[in-house]
A and B are shown apart, each in its own frame.
Chain A
């Protein structure tokens, strides 16, 4: 109803007049108004049952698509009862162990009518197989399924962390999914090329452009080389490539970035792949706006930031996103509560329906300023793309660590600028005094409190599946999967058979781990420094030199990322800072068990373990580390500090475990952190 009133206002009165340049011309030759972009919210938690209830209530309120968040165990290919998975079950998304869980998750949801977007990567082929198996058991025609599996492993190695296999195997899996989907599930996007996560890991606009486009080139080159597609099919596959992009506070530059993306993509599809059908050369993209810049301090300011960030991807019609997802004001505090999501949703609705934005053609065409900026971005991005292609493309540039180092360097520069005040973040490093926020004044402190009683449901169901299935069929299905993996045949059908046979997520991933091996990408921290100098740095270095005398060695810190959490920024920045002020630093990257971290610290004679946890499982993981140290007899020799997203009520719990200090996002001043840590080592009993 709202919509039609607005339409009238535009198309309105002067019936006869031809549309003016400031108006959008519809198919009927009359002035019209654009349809708004797709408005999305990303959800899922606790258990299949709880998430099903959440989705059904969202759908009953008119939402048409599903955007599914999976828990880290599911994303990394572990069963819920695996020891590394246990602390993470249901924390940041829904746990899925087998097809039975999918039946619960989609209970009473007509999948043939849904557009289902799954944020799933390392196990994307498995989750798609489960979805296909669900459709087969329900008798739904696969042609009617629509949706997306995110399935971009390059950005997992670089920024998001839910990879499993080495790059070549990962790309083969993606390619096989394209080959399966193109004819079998024509409305399925087998993958999404993501630059969103790269910006969240510090990427500059040029890096976002070039890494994402090089990634798309890597994929298309591979599809071409595999030769499974006819020319016509290949063109269609090009047309199915869509992007998932970020937009930050520098919204003018961000808008230019989107224009540059669109122009470059059209050039690449035409020139590199000879695609002529115009439908297949269009740059299609969805957006989640930047969250990295959202602060824990004065969290109400984030509401304005989110609004401004949305401008960059909506203002210009020629480069407007197709779908938009907004974070919430309390992003740096916890997962959003339903009200927080609603508040962000309202922002989009107000923007799309109350303003006149959607009535105009592109506002910036012909602007010399914009054109110049776009061209500058394009030129730099092309140079960078060429550099990456010269290294053998994205796979080469992952394996030699080039792209990861570049991101860690950008991130180190960013935090250095915020630390020395060059980059203003209101409320954080400028205008820091403020009236306490009433938004965090409620009983829950503005936090989402997870009900983890659902975990036992998940574990029970997993037990039940294992008990009730046909073990012979399971064995045969897994053997067939491994055979395909070895022989180079497509793993899609064998995976679907695994799903139908009630193979579990961990079993599927483990079978392929045995064939492909596991991969640990480079950490990118080697050779990095902070852009910070001056008296405080000198003083810290002097204090550390003094510690060499009191400890008998240069102080050593193991920076650890225990569990499945892939948020590496904080750990990387701390590792770089610690070396910058003179620590000897051991940082072995994400996804190590608490046991492995303890082992490193003990063997290396470290003085300190600094664990970084942002996935919400800090209490369980800290307990594992403390227990591990005790078991090694090193609990008195090695001190433990923890940083990350630690809600205030949990700080006391960590301290009770023996954690010496706790740091959160408001501790942005790296030298403060280093002074505090050095102070801890200086205190002698």
Chain B
């Protein structure tokens, strides 16, 4: 029954791919993201080349995207909420374009993941102002996939707003804070135990909280408990930390949250995602080469920021680092 196989994709140059992706046509954007995820050296060279074109274009247009991180415990309603918020955002601002990157956990035994976040995403197929991409966490802890940074970086050159949904994490480690301009923590109505758990760490991280499922009666209590906990855990800024009350079921509070997201998008002085590279480069080095690698980066190469400045992109920096440390170890 098998027909002869077709070649995988039409051949394009990296520059052509970048041009096509800038139109937000879905397939080219998806190919670019796949390149960002692709660890093989051939692919990462193409990725860097395409990125160079995109970076230049962004500079010309004076385009800087904002990255918003959304984290919170499993099942708190992050994806359902994002579906509503993303749609509300593009409805409110006719020029806005949004990319959502959602990370799901991989199975430790088979390596495969069920990418369930997408299930919650309802978008009008006719428009391509919203792009949604799932990632599998693979072996990474901390809520992101190993390549989330590069993917967001690519998307940030095409879309005005990039929203990252992390794996449902409860622990204090939330890598997304190194990637996003603002981090929102979504909680569902909580039990007392969960509040304690929250206080033990993650409460330090977010710039804002969202009590979702506010259609459930327990939500009001959670809101007040959270307020109270903030006074204790973050006395210096508790005043300024917003707590949104939403329901992805009834739509309550969605417009307000979308409005806040829009304010972030239009705020002055954004940090381009590229500036966040040193953290993720260091994380990559530690993953691949452990403590030896981290020392090599810091001592021999002057640290991630200095090293990256000498390189033509993130992917090629990885390749030169590999070469450099190999030479140091064997040489």
A residues in contact (CB < 8 Å) with B: 520, 523, 525-527, 529, 541, 544-545, 549, 552-554, 556, 575, 578-589, 593, 595-596, 599-600, 602-605, 632-637, 639, 651, 655, 658, 660-662, 680, 683-685
CB distance B30 to A605 under 8 Å? Answer: yes
Give CA–CA (A209, B125) in the complex, Å.
Answer: 41
CB distance A593 to B125 under 8 Å? Answer: yes
B residues in contact (CB < 8 Å) with A: 1-10, 25-31, 33-34, 37-40, 43, 106-107, 110-116, 118-119, 122, 125, 131-134, 136, 138
| Closest chain A residue to B136, Cβ basis | A584
CB distance B2 to A545 under 8 Å? Answer: no
Give CA–CA (A584, B10) in the complex, Å.
Answer: 24
CB distance B113 to A584 under 8 Å? Answer: yes
**Chain B residues near A593 (CB-CB < 8 A):** 125
Q: How far is the CB of B100 from chain A (nearest CB, A)?
A: 10
CB distance A595 to B125 under 8 Å? Answer: yes
**Chain B residues near A578 (CB-CB < 8 A):** 112
Give CA–CA (A636, B136) in the complex, Å.
Answer: 24
Known: A588-B119, A636-B8. A575 touches B1 (CB 8 A): no
Give CA–CA (A588, B117) in the complex, Å.
Answer: 9
Which of B2, B30, B38, B125 lies in contact with A680, CB distance below 8 A? B2
CB distance B38 to A552 under 8 Å? Answer: yes
Q: How far is the CB of A18 from chain B (nearest CB, A)?
A: 64
Which of B1, B107, B134 lies in contact with A662, CB distance below 8 A? B1
Give CA–CA (A255, B38) in the complex, Å.
Answer: 57
Q: How far is the CB of B18 from chain A (nearest CB, A)?
A: 16
Give CA–CA (A553, B147) in the complex, Å.
Answer: 11
Which of A523, A545, A684 lies in contact with B119, CB distance below 8 A? A523
CB distance B1 to A545 under 8 Å? Answer: no
CB distance A655 to B125 under 8 Å? Answer: no
**Chain B residues near A589 (CB-CB < 8 A):** 119
Known: A553-B34, A600-B118, A685-B7. A655 touches B113 (CB 8 A): no
Give CA–CA (A685, B39) in the complex, Å.
Answer: 22
CB distance A661 to B2 under 8 Å? Answer: yes
Give CA–CA (A596, B131) in the complex, Å.
Answer: 13
Q: How far is the CB of A549 from chain B (nearest CB, A)?
A: 7
| CB pairs A–B below 8 angstroms (11 shown) | A552-B37, A552-B43, A581-B112, A582-B111, A603-B26, A603-B29, A604-B118, A605-B33, A634-B27, A635-B6, A685-B7
CB distance B116 to A637 under 8 Å? Answer: no
CB distance A599 to B112 under 8 Å? Answer: no
Q: How far is the CB of B67 from chain A (nearest CB, A)?
A: 19
Name the residue in A526, A544, A655 with the highest tally of chain B Cβ atoms < 10 Å from its Cβ: A526
CB distance B114 to A636 under 8 Å? Answer: no
CB distance B119 to A552 under 8 Å? Answer: no
Known: A605-B30, A637-B8, A662-B1. A588 touches B111 (CB 8 A): no
Name the residue in B5, B10, B106, B110 with the highest tally of chain A Cβ atoms < 10 Å from its Cβ: B110
CB distance A585 to B26 under 8 Å? Answer: no
CB distance B27 to A554 under 8 Å? Answer: no
Q: How far is the CB of A157 from chain B (nearest CB, A)?
A: 14
| Closest chain A residue to B113, Cβ basis | A584
Q: How far is the CB of B246 from chain A (nearest CB, A)?
A: 16
CB distance A633 to B27 under 8 Å? Answer: yes
CB distance A660 to B110 under 8 Å? Answer: no
**Chain A residues near B110 (CB-CB < 8 A):** 541, 579-582
Which of A599, A635, A662 lies in contact with B26, CB distance below 8 A? A599
CB distance B118 to A552 under 8 Å? Answer: no
Known: A582-B111, A596-B125, A636-B7. A605 touches B34 (CB 8 A): yes
Give CA–CA (A639, B6) in the complex, Å.
Answer: 9
Which of B7, B10, B131, B136 lies in contact with A554, CB distance below 8 A? B136
Q: How far is the CB of A647 from chain B (nearest CB, A)?
A: 15
Give CA–CA (A580, B38) in the complex, Å.
Answer: 23
**Chain B residues near A545 (CB-CB < 8 A):** 111
CB distance B125 to A599 under 8 Å? Answer: yes
Known: A603-B133, A605-B30, A683-B2. A579 touches B118 (CB 8 A): no
Which of B5, B26, B134, B136 lies in contact with A602, CB distance below 8 A? B26
Q: How far is the CB of B217 from chain A (nearest CB, A)?
A: 11
**Chain B residues near A586 (CB-CB < 8 A):** 115, 118, 134
**Chain A residues near B113 (CB-CB < 8 A):** 554, 579, 584-585
Which of A544, A554, A651 lies in contact with B1, CB distance below 8 A? A651
Give CA–CA (A552, B115) in the complex, Å.
Answer: 18
Give CA–CA (A525, B136) in the complex, Å.
Answer: 16
| Closest chain B residue to A533, Cβ basis | B109
The 6 closest A-B pairs by CB, nearest first: A552-B38, A579-B112, A605-B34, A582-B112, A582-B110, A588-B119
CB distance B3 to A658 under 8 Å? Answer: yes
Q: How far is the CB of B151 from chain A (nearest CB, A)?
A: 10
CB distance B112 to A554 under 8 Å? Answer: yes
Q: How far is the CB of A164 from chain B (nearest CB, A)?
A: 15
**Chain A residues near B116 (CB-CB < 8 A):** 523, 525-526
**Chain A residues near B3 (CB-CB < 8 A):** 655, 658, 660
Q: How far is the CB of A680 from chain B (nearest CB, A)?
A: 7
CB distance A603 to B132 under 8 Å? Answer: yes
CB distance B114 to A575 under 8 Å? Answer: yes
Q: How far is the CB of B38 from chain A (nearest CB, A)?
A: 4
Known: A552-B39, A581-B112. A684 touches B5 (CB 8 A): yes
